[in-house]
Each structure stands twice: as C-alpha cells, then as structure tokens.
Structure 1
Amino acid sequence: MRLDFFDLQLFLNIVDTGSLTKGADRSNISLQAASERIKKIEQQFASQLFIRHATGVKLTVAGQTFTEQAQQLIQQSKQLEQAMLPFSQGLTTKMCLWCNSSAQSEYLPQLLPQYLVENPHMEIDLKEAESSNIIASIEKGSARLGIISGFFNSDHLQTLEFSDDPLVLICPKNHELTAQKELKLADTLNYPFVGLMQYHSLQQSIEAQAKILNINIQYRLRLPNFAAIAQVVATGVGIAIMPKRAARRFNELYDFQQIELIGDWANRKLLLAAQNFSELPVSYQHFVQYLLSQKNKLNMSE
C-alpha cells in the first residue's frame, strides 16, 4: 500500500475532530471508507493508532507519533506546492549576480545563454563592480552571490574556485617593451596607456595598484571595452592591460604583442563568493552548481 496525502489529511481530520464520523465528513468520504483507510494505515505500520470509544477516538502513543509526522508531511507538501507555483504559472525567478569586468565580458557570455535556455523562467541581473566592493556588499548582505578576483581578501566569505584569470600587457608591435617576455606592473606604468573608462572594475583595480606604487598612469585614451582597446593599441597609440583570455581572442583580429605580467595581482583567479553557499535560495544554489559544472569550458589551452 502506498500512503497518500489524502489518507494523511483524513487521519489529521479525525484527530482534529476527535471523531471518525466527523473526520470522514470533513474529508467528504463515507464513514465506511474512512474506517477502511485507517485500518489499512494501521495494518501497514502494524500499530494501533486510535482507541475507539462511544464518544469518539483517542490517540495511542503510536498515533501521536504518526500525527506529528503526518503534520510535517502535509506542511512540506504545501511548501512544495508554493515553491512550484511560479513554474506552473509561467512566473519568472530573478537572481542578481555581482561580477568584475573580466567575468562579465569574458566568461559569463559563454555560459549564461545555455543556462537561460535550459531554465526559461529565470532572469539574471548582472551587476559589474570592483572585487573589493563585491566582497563588502556580500559581507553586508546587500549582495548574495558574486564573482571576484582571488587577489582580494575574502576571508569572511565562502569561496569556490571558478577559473584562472591572468592579466597581460598588450603593446604595439614596434614598442620597446616587446623585447621583454614578462614584466612587473611597476615596469609598465611610466609608459602612455590606453585604458578602460573609469567606471570599469578592472580599471579601478589597475589604478588602485598604481596608487600603491605611488605612480600616476598617463592615459592617452579611455575606451568602453576590450575590443576597442585592442584595436587602438594595435595602431600604436599606447599600451594596455587586459585579461589574457580577451587578449588571445582579439589578437586574432588585431596585430599587437602580448607580454606576461608577474605578481599575485596579475596572476589572479576568479572565485565564486557568498556568505554561505548552503544557505542561498535554491535558485542560486542551482546556478552555482551549473557554473562549477562548466569550468572545463573556460580552460585556455596553452
């Protein structure tokens, strides 16, 4: 015999009314049908659940235990119905993902379309911010989930490794720095730069590192995206810093030189960050699992 929720509710109706007859009426079935259903439950569990007397029924100890479990199951079934209601009615579930500029431009465009196609009732709001600001927002509770650079201190958060995300210097082919195979950030900052607009998180991160080195970067031009920067650098206007992934992609279109950058700040990893992943809403947990399952797609061949 399979115990169904109708039987559970019938049992609780009998408990609530203290009467097999009244419980049957509340469940809209006959007294005989109710009695047979209760007998089958008692047979299934080999336990007497009620003591029947002239004025009604009284729970046994086994019946009291069954009552507590039945109440939990009924409550869980109602929660399940509420959780599934948005899907059955075609309603959308919204998530907000905070991310730095590299994640937003180089990684998520490759991963999000598949997720959104597979989950048509989901909407994802991307908020670009500098990693330290994302960390602070998650710590304060104004953000739930973020993708940050592993260079920044996130000890108060839970993190999961998402992808390698090294930075490189790109130069015009005839630039004097092209003789170098690798450079420290300090070796580059006295040359004219082509940079991102000031609101970009990577740009803020570059300028924060320059400030630590007590150097003011000279910008010949600021542009809104990596594609524009790559094109301008190739013409000889200046040098620039961008994610290695972006540089490889645009090097197929524009003729410039890539140079490795040395140091923890440049050889960074992208991390998924949250206060507690297990306490995120189910939709966020599902999204995190998807992102982690796609990590192999992000690996760059050397």
Structure 2
Amino acid sequence: MRFDLESLRVFATVVEQGSIAEAAQTAHIVASAVSRRISELERDAGTPLFERHSRGVRPTAAGRTLYRHVRRIFEQFQQAEGELDEYTKGVRGHVRLSVNFTAMVYYLPQALQRFLSANSAIKIDLIEKTSDAVVRMVESGMVDFGICSLTEPEPRLTCFPYQADRLFLIAPAHHRYAGCASLRFDDILDEDFVGMQDGASIYTLSQRAAAAAGRRLKLRIQVTSFEAVRNMVAAGLGIGLLPEIGIPDATPGLVKIRLDEPWVERSLQIVCRDPDALPAAARQLIGELLSTTPIAPPPDKSIP
C-alpha cells in the first residue's frame, strides 16, 4: 500500500469524530474531499475501513488496526518535531521513559538527580504508569524505554534486570496474623484485601496466585499508592501486599509478615524494543542506571 500522510490524517479524524461531516468541519475541508480520501484508502487497502450507519460511521476491524498504527505514526512525528525544536533551544538530548510506582518513588529520584547533574543539557520526560501500561507504551514507541515489574515474559522487548524486591503481607497490628513469622498465600485468602489498581504488577501477581489456588481475591478497596495501602490497612479495612521497600520500619499500626511463596520475589526490569536503536541520551541514561544496580545486564546485550 502507498500511504498519503494527509489522507491518513483525515482518516484518523473520521475515526475520532465518528462522522464524515464532523471530520470535514474539524479538518477544514469539504465533506466530498473527506469521502474521496477514505474511498482511495479503502481501494488501496482492498477492504472496507468503515461501516456506515444512521448516525455516521464506525471503523471496521481493519479500520481499527489502521487507526492504531496511524496514531503511532503521528505521535512519533510529534516527538520528532519536539526534539528537533529543542535542539534550536540548546537542548542536546531528550529521553522519554515510563516507569511503575516502585521505580518512580524509591529508585529513580537520586539516580536521576546524579544523572542530570552530570548531563544538564539532557531533558527527561518521566511518566508514571502501571507495569502493564509501561510495557504497552514501550511496545508502541511512545517512550524510549520503561522500568516495570514483568508478570510474564515479553519476547518482543529487550529486558535488563534493574532491581529486585520481595512482596510482604501487611496487616493491622491487632490482627490475628500479627504474631505470625510467615504465612502461605492459601492461609490468607479468606481475608478482605486492600489492593493496588488493575494493571499494577502486585495486582496481577496476587490475582494469578489466587486463581491458581482455585480461589478469588476478596478485594475490598483498590488504591493507587503504597501509602494509601498502608493507611487503609492500618485503619483495619483489610490486609495488603507491598514490596519490602514500601514498608517503612516500625510503621505505626502495621505488622509485616513474610509470605512463603516463590512468586513474591519480583525483579524490576529496564525494558526497550532495540537498545541499539535508542537515542544516544537514552542509552546513556540506561547505562547510568545499570551501573548503580548490583544486578548485571544480560551478557548478549550491552548499553555503553
């Protein structure tokens, strides 16, 4: 297929507006020109891209697939324009990365401070997302690389081990488990849980473990931060799972209990599509991050 960028832009506008007439108004062209461009795209694709209905149009399965790629293309154009514009302002590098909550709060602040102190001409855009969302952003090219806890292998990505942590059970200080040195996950599945939001690795791992035991996790409350989990558990609203680094020593109203399960051992990973194709500034930042972690990167890939 031969794609015309303006036709792709019009196509995306029609998808977003759900109407050829509204797309024409948004794009400041006549409706007949929009229809002609869509017809040409459908002819080149060899398949319908829209279904017509009484209130407008909706994309077909092929149309949705094309739209996903078109959005990625224009996002990359916008990133390129932004980066080139920054060079005119004296910025000599731009890194976009997405990280999960654990990396954002506990591992990156000091590392980024050291990096930017030594590389003041590099700009960093940092986005906090759940681990699942980090993977999607890296795969789509929306960011250069990500840091997350993988809950399953990602064969399309290159992964560098970054940090390791272990999940612990936290319970109110007066809870019946408070005196236990360790527990199995099966022991606690009758309890109400305070959990992280969907897409967080802790949520995914605990849900899978419950399903493997033939049970369902009784999520009473879902929150978006470790502090919120601690506060809700301390108030007696349930028990929770957090990485050890997210449980300060002697937290008032809480006890920390070891779980004897292999899946509670987590590894934070630096993930990217192709390290050799990364911008120089992104490669430099990954190298800095890996140099400060006790875990070495895989021997078949290296970031100078």
* TM bracket, shorter-chain basis: 0.5 to 0.7
Q: What is the distance in 1 between the residues matched to 2:209 and 2:124? A: 31
Which whole-Å CA distance do the structure 2 matches of 1:240 and 1:231 have between them? 10
Q: Which amino acid aligns with 1:109?
A: P
SS in 2 for 1:237: coil
Return the offset for 1:199: 6.4
Partner of 1:287: 285
Cα distance in 2 for residues equivalent to 1:86 and 1:222: 40
Deviates more, 1:191-200 or 1:259-268: 191-200
Contact 2:169 2:239 in 1 (8 A): yes
Partners of 1:102 and 1:202 within 8 A in 2: no
Matches of 1:139 and 1:91, distance apart in 2: 26
Deviation at 1:95, TM superposition (A): 1.9
- 1:192 maps to a residue whose letter is D
Residue-by-residue CA offset, 1:113-141 (whole Å, 9 max, x unaligned) = 33233333333333334434434543454
Give the count of matched residue pairs.
213
Aligned to 1:270: 268
Deviates more, 1:281-290 or 1:214-223: 214-223
- Mapped partners of 2:197, 2:84: distance in 1: 43
For 2:148, the equivalent position in structure 1 comes to: 148
Aligned 8 A contact 1:101 1:129 in 2 = yes
Is the 1:183–1:259 contact (alpha carbons within 8 Å) kept by the matching residues of 2?
A: yes
SS of equivalent to 1:232 = helix
Matching residue of 1:123? 123
1:248-263 matched pairs, under 5 angstroms: 249=248, 251-263=249-261
Q: What amino acid is aligned across from residue 275 of structure 1 in structure 2?
A: R
Are 2:227 and 1:227 equivalent residues in the alignment? yes
Tell whether the 8 Å contact from 2:194 to 2:222 is kept in structure 1 after alignment.
Answer: yes
Residues 161, 270 of structure 1: 8 Å contact kept: yes
TM-score by length of 2: 0.59
Look up the match of 2:104: 104
The answer to whether 1:236 aligns with 2:236 is yes
Q: 1:222 to 1:90 in 2, by over 3 A?
A: same
> CA, structure 1 residues 105+236, in 2 after alignment: closer, same or farther (shift >3 Å)?
same
Question: CA offset at residue 205 of structure 1?
Answer: 4.5
1:44-81 Cα shifts (integer Å, max 9, x gaps):
xxxxxxxxxxxxxxxxxxxxxxxxxxxxxxxxxxxxxx
User: Is the 1:130–1:205 contact (alpha carbons within 8 Å) kept by the matching residues of 2?
Assistant: no
Partner of 2:196: 196
Larger Rg belongs to: 1
Distance 1:88 1:117, change over 3 A: farther
Pairing of 1:24-103 with structure 2 (within 5 A): 89-91=89-91, 93-103=93-103
State the distance in 1 between where 2:106 and 2:149 align.
Answer: 14
Change (3 A) 1:228 1:148: closer
Alpha-carbon distance in structure 1 between the residues aligned to 2:125 and 2:184: 36
Mean Cα deviation higher: 205-214 or 178-187: 205-214
Task: Give, in whole Å, the separation in 2 of the partners of 1:185 and 1:92.
Answer: 50
Q: Which amino acid aligns with 1:287?
A: L
How far off is 1:170 after superposition? 0.7
Q: 1:139 to 1:213 in 2, by over 3 A?
A: farther
Using the TM superposition, give the Cα deviation of residue 162 of structure 1 relative to its aligned residue in structure 2, in angstroms. 0.6
Give the deviation of 1:282 after TM superposition.
0.3
| Aligned partners of 1:192 and 1:219 also within 8 Å | yes
**Cα separation, 2, equivalents of 1:90 and 1:163:** 34
Q: Do the aligned partners of residues 134 and 225 (structure 1) sit closer, same or farther apart at CA in structure 2, a change above 3 Å counting?
A: closer
Which amino acid is the alignment partner of residue 107 of structure 1? Y
Counterpart residue number, 1:80: none
Deviation at residue 280 of structure 1 after TM alignment: 1.2
TM-score, with length taken from structure 1: 0.59
Post-superposition CA distance 1:162-182 (Å, at most 9, x none): 111211111112222234333
Structure 1 portions without partners, runs of 5+: 1-82, 298-302
Could you report, residue by residue, the CA deviation over 1:71-113 in whole angstroms, capped at 9, with x for unpaired residues? xxxxxxxxxxxx9996784336432212222222222233223
